[in-house]
Amino acid sequence: MFGLFFILILVLIIILGHVYTANINTISVNKYTPAVVPDTSTLVDDLPFIKSSLTQPVDLQKASNPSPENIVKGKQVYETYCTSCHGNEGKGDGLAGVNLKPPPRNFHILTEWTNGTKISEIYKTLEEGIVSRGMAQYNNISPEDRFAVIHYIRTFNKDYPIADENEITMLDNTYSLSKGVYKPAQIPVRTAEKFLISQYNPEENKINSVYSMIELNNSENGALLLKKYSSNLKTLITAIVNNKDKITNDNDFSNFISTSSLQKGFKSEITQITKEELSVIYTYLKNVILK
C-alpha cells in the first residue's frame, strides 16, 4: 500500500518537474531588443583596416630545397630586412642591433637558439617573431621569400640541420603553405561598433533627440523620475525606443522594467518604484516616445 503511494508521489514530482522545465524557457527568453550604445572609453590602439588577401600557394619542393636562384633571392631579402640588426655577414653585429639585449642572433653559431636552427623553426621565428626578445615578426614577407632568406642564413654555417620531409609536411600543415592562405579582412573595432549600432538602432536620430530632451528637462516629473532611476540614460532611452511596439500601457511598461532592468540602463533601485511613479513615467514617455 505504502509502496504504491511513494510511486504515485514520484510520478507526480516528475510530471511537475516536466511542466516546470517546459515553461522555464518562456520565462527566461529575452523578448526585448537589447540596447546597444557606443562605448565611450578610448581605445589606445584600434585595429587597422586590412583588406582580405590570399597568399599564393607555395611550391614546397622548390621552396625547401636551396637552389642558387633561391640563395640569390634570399640575399636580397636579407639585405632589405635583416642586415640592420644581424649584420652584413650574419654575425649579429648590425648597427641597429648594438644596444639590443639579447643581441641579434649570430647565424654562424648554432647553439642556444630560442626557437631553433631547423628550417621549420626559423620559419616559425619569421612568422611569429620572438617579440619579447626583440626579434620582430616578418609575416609580411611572402612565404617563398621567407624560405629564400632562411636558405641564405643557412649558408653562414655548413652544419645547419638538413630538412627532412616530415618537418616540411608539418610546416605545411601548420601554416597551410601548399594550399595558400586566405586572410580575412579586418576593420577597426570602432567601425564595427558603428555598424552594429546602426543595425540595432535604426532610430538613432530619434534616440539622440529624445535623449537630449530628457537630459535637459528639469521641470517635468516624468523626466526627473527617469533620470532618478537610470544608471545610463542613453541606454535606457535606446531600450525604450527599440521596444516601443511592446509598450502600450502601464502594465507593459511594468513588465519591461522588471526584466533585465540593469542591462536596460536602470539602477537597481528601480525595483522599489511605486505604482504612481511608474504611471507618471509611462504617461511622460507616451508623449515623447511612444506616440
Judged by the rule CB under 6 A, the positions of this chain that interact with ligand HEC are 81-82, 84-86, 96-97, 100, 102, 104-105, 113-116, 122, 125-126, 130, 133-135, 138, 149, 153
Q: Residue 268: how many CB atoms within 10 A of its CB? A: 10
What one-letter code names the amino acid at 129? G
The nearest distance, CB 137 to ligand HEC, in angstroms, is 10
Phi, psi of 216 (to 5 degrees): -85, -15
Nearer to ligand HEC, 147 or 253 (CB): 147
Integer CA distances (angstroms), 43 to 38, 190, 248, 251, 281, in order: 12, 9, 40, 41, 36
Sequence-ordered list of residues with C-beta below 8 angstroms from that of 133, at least 6 positions apart, any chain:
102, 114
Sequence-ordered list of residues with C-beta below 8 angstroms from that of 97, at least 6 positions apart, any chain:
84, 85, 86, 87, 103, 104
Nearer to ligand HEC, 97 or 265 (CB): 97
Q: Residue 150: how many CB atoms within 10 A of its CB? A: 26
Nearer to ligand HEC, 73 or 244 (CB): 73
The nearest distance, CB 95 to ligand HEC, in angstroms, is 10
Take residue 47 and report the three cell numbers written for it.
Answer: 585595429
CA 2 from chain centre, in angstroms, equals 61
Nearer to ligand HEC, 84 or 259 (CB): 84
The nearest distance, CB 94 to ligand HEC, in angstroms, is 7
Nearer to ligand HEC, 33 or 84 (CB): 84
| C-beta of residue 256 within 8 angstroms of C-beta of residue 247 | yes
What one-letter code names the amino acid at 94? G
Measured CA to CA, the distance from residue 96 to residue 80 in angstroms comes to 13
The nearest distance, CB 168 to ligand HEC, in angstroms, is 17
Q: Any idea what the Cα angle at residue 72 is, between residues 66 and 73, rounded to 5°?
A: 90
Q: Residue 157: how many CB atoms within 10 A of its CB? A: 14
Nearer to ligand HEC, 122 or 226 (CB): 122
The nearest distance, CB 124 to ligand HEC, in angstroms, is 8
The nearest distance, CB 82 to ligand HEC, in angstroms, is 3
Measured CA to CA, the distance from residue 115 to residue 127 in angstroms comes to 12
Nearer to ligand HEC, 100 or 225 (CB): 100
The nearest distance, CB 153 to ligand HEC, in angstroms, is 6
User: How crowded is the C-beta side of 276, counted as CA atoms within 13 Å?
Assistant: 1
> Any idea which residue has 511612444 for its cell?
290
The nearest distance, CB 41 to ligand HEC, in angstroms, is 33
Nearer to ligand HEC, 88 or 114 (CB): 114
